[in-house]
Amino acid sequence: MDHFSGYIFDLDGTIYLGNEPIDGAVETIRYLQSLDKKLLFLTNKTIDSRDNYLKKLNGFGLEIGLGHILNPALVTIHYLQNHHPGGKAYVIGEEILKSEFRDSGIEFADSPEETDVVVVSWDREFHYNHLDFAYQAIKQGAHVIATHPDRTCPMPGGEVPDCGGMIGAIEGTTGLEVNIIMGKPSVYTALTALDMLKLDAKDCLMSGDRLETDILMGNNAGMNTALVLTGVTTSEDAAASDVKPTFILNSVHDIYRSSRLPS
């Protein structure tokens, strides 16, 4: 499995769980780097910055640069700059996401009346006032987009609610479907990833632990895909799903281990 030109890796549940790398993940990344493969690390989480993801990976002893990390914040910023230039946004999300938006020149709305677009993201302090502001803005014509669709996020102690909960609240109150989503499995993320790697989809392997995001995005983009069983998806889930990966791996370490097998 070391014959691809590019390797795209999900992070949570694929490269690490919490603050600990998954067994064999670091060895696998170093092995691919030794082959001069192009690597990209892709997360749907918006409660941390790309800089902090970089520090985390570097803390595992990996030599990774910021240009190897893609998150929904970056994809969303590009989308807002291209589709709503000069527009004002209301952001349901944590301060670290809002800070990335401010640093990129995104203007924030102070009232529903002046809101051009509502951005829905994971917010662990989500409350009624957020929902009411978004509801009023959308009813007055504001567009609505979401950073990622994940219902839950894997943590060492088990899964916790993710952005899907915030999306559900918006959809439940407005009666509208939030169908412009930046993170996996969105085409926006797939195209951004391939542009960063400067590779065709057929030359890449997308590895992740979620069928409905990682694998679906890779399949739709024309990539080869590898489901790893170190996160939220089990082999039973995979057997029952209509979304079929190219490979099913116990972990990303299987990429390295397969290269050690006698030919």
Q: Hey, where are the domains in the chain?
A: 6-44+184-260, 84-174
CATH class name, domain 84-174 = alpha beta
Distance CA 211, CA 215 (A): 5
**Chain segment 181-199, per-residue pLDDT in tens:** 999 899 899 999 999 999 9
What pLDDT, on a 0 to 100 scale, did the predictor assign at position 263? 54
Q: State the pLDDT at residue 154.
A: 73
Please identify every stretch of the chain with a pLDDT value under 50, giving residue numbers as ranges: none
pLDDT at 67: 94
Q: Is the pTM of this model over 0.75?
A: yes
| pLDDT value for 77 | 92
Is there a common fold for 6-44+184-260 and 84-174? yes
Sheet architecture: strand order including 143-146:
107-108, 88-92, 117-120, 143-146
Percentage, residues of the chain above pLDDT 70: 99
Q: What is the pLDDT, as a whole number, of residue 175?
A: 97
Whole-number pLDDT of residue 159: 85
Q: Which of 245, 206, 222 is nearest to 39 (CA)?
A: 206
CATH 1.10.10.10 for domain 6-44+184-260, yes or no, is no
Please enumerate, as own/partner, the contacts of 224-233 that have beta carbons within 8 Å and a separation of 24 or more. Answer: 224/4, 226/1, 226/252, 226/255, 228/13, 228/14, 228/252, 230/13, 230/14, 230/17, 230/22, 231/10, 231/12, 231/13, 231/14, 231/17, 231/154, 232/13, 232/152, 232/154, 232/159, 233/209
